[in-house]
Structure 1
Amino acid sequence: MPPMTRHPRHSPGAGFPGAFAPEPDDDSPKSKSQRKRDMHALQDLGSELEALPKDRLARVPMPEVLEDAIREARRITSHEGKRRQMQYVGKVMRGLNDDEIDAIRRALDGFKGTSKAETARLHLIERWRELLLKDDEALTRFLAEHPAVDVQALRSLIRNARKEQQLSKPPRHFRELFQAIKSALEAREQPGAAAAEPSPGQDQEPA
């Protein structure tokens, strides 16, 4: 009887490297490149805070150590001194927890939304001014939507602004008309209400 030949056992997955490798752990340390990206993101966030107007900065929730660091950066005028201080701001921010970072980001996002609304308001005022200067019918529509306006004062502003344009004079009444429209829009608005926009077709030349 011929002797039995033993064949070496092959473990499951042999020949398939990594077939039974452990799955990556979601809690594994971040890669060097990811840490670098996070660091730059926090540095940029610090720069946004440093550039905020004083009143808005005061409304951002942040630890006192970060607030002090940012106020010091705003005080420094030399380029190199500010650069070093902003590096320190970034270091402080890297020590914040996720909740603190999220609170700062939410505040900044809220300011950006407010800025968009302010820009839209300015465009609306400019649009009304353009219509009022070129179309007498626009005044009727404007007064219908803003009945509290001083009609005679507004008519006078429009008339004088038109003369300024015709004679290429400094635009004093042109600017005053902008402020008058702005005041009318603010007086008309109620909390949560949007400013009235010229309806479609209102920018057409009168027949």
Structure 2
Amino acid sequence: MAKNKNTSPADEPFISKSQIKREMDALQVTGLELVKLTDNQLKAIPLDDQLHDAILLARRIQNKHEGFRRQMQFIGKLMRQRDVQPITEALDQLKGNHRKTTAHFHSIEQWRDRILDQGEDAIQELCESQPTADPQQLRHYCQEHQQQMQHNKPPVASRQLFVYLRQLMSSQ
């Protein structure tokens, strides 16, 4: 009997059982991330019907112990049979969008806090960077905030200022 010259054991890279287990665990973690996505986010991920159905079933499992664990193992098994690079790239894209949104939100919060703390100086600086900003409206929110703080009222003006800044900075 002649050996096949195309497949020799020396040509195949050695992969330890530990490495295989780590890769399977990573796929299960990716599967859990997919289960936690909203319906709209899940639509942005390139999934075949079988994997999509398995993810939807995992969402419906009420008992989050053994049944859920077995379903997650099944999702991991399905993912091992597929090219997961497009899936992980789409997940990374979604995470990147979330980080950008969070950073933008924090930037708006910082501007609100600066305006309420520094007053006119911060208003002038914002108006220079945002030409469509209404300095009179910003001053009004600042004054309302000061009055609300003096009378121990809820910070309604602070919230209104945040909404105004979000609209202003989103229209860029």
Q: Name the TM-score class by shorter chain.
A: 0.7 to 0.9
Once the two structures are TM-superposed, the CA of residue 48 in structure 1 deviates from its matched residue by: 0.9
Measured against aligned partners, the alpha-carbon deviations of 1:133-162 in whole angstroms (never above 9, x if no partner) come to 122111122122223234433322222122
Q: Return the structure number with greater helix share.
A: 2
Which deviates more from structure 2 when the two are superposed, residues 109-118 or residues 56-65? 109-118
Q: Percent identity?
A: 39
Query: Structure 1 161/77 Cα, relative in aligned 2: closer, same or farther at 3 Å?
Result: farther
**TM-score normalised by the chain length of structure 2:** 0.84
8 Å contact from structure 1 (residues 161, 177) kept in 2: no
Specify which of 120, 131, 138 is matched with residue 114 of structure 2: 131
Q: What SS does the corresponding residue of 1:111 show, helix, strand or coil?
A: helix
Q: What SS does the corresponding residue of 1:115 show, helix, strand or coil?
A: helix
What is the letter of the counterpart of residue 154 of structure 1?
A: L
Tell me whether 1:52 sits opposite 2:9 in the alignment: no
Which deviates more from structure 2 when the two are superposed, residues 26-35 or residues 124-133? 26-35
Alignment of 1:44-193 (within 5 A): 44-80=29-65, 81-96=67-82, 100-135=83-118, 136-187=120-171, 189=172
Q: Partner of 1:37 in structure 2?
A: 22
Once the two structures are TM-superposed, the CA of residue 185 in structure 1 deviates from its matched residue by: 0.7
**TM-score normalised by the chain length of structure 1:** 0.71
Quote the Cα distance in structure 2 between the aligned partners of 1:47 and 1:103. Answer: 16
Once the two structures are TM-superposed, the CA of residue 166 in structure 1 deviates from its matched residue by: 3.0
Query: Which consecutive residues of structure 2, in runs of 5 or more, have no partner in the other structure?
Result: 1-8
Quote the Cα distance in structure 1 between the aligned partners of 2:10 and 2:160. Answer: 65
8 Å contact from structure 1 (residues 149, 184) kept in 2: yes
Instruction: From the CA coordinates, give the structure whose radius of gyration is larger.
Output: 1
Quote the Cα distance in structure 1 between the aligned partners of 2:60 and 2:52. Answer: 12
Once the two structures are TM-superposed, the CA of residue 165 in structure 1 deviates from its matched residue by: 2.6
Count the aligned residue pairs.
162
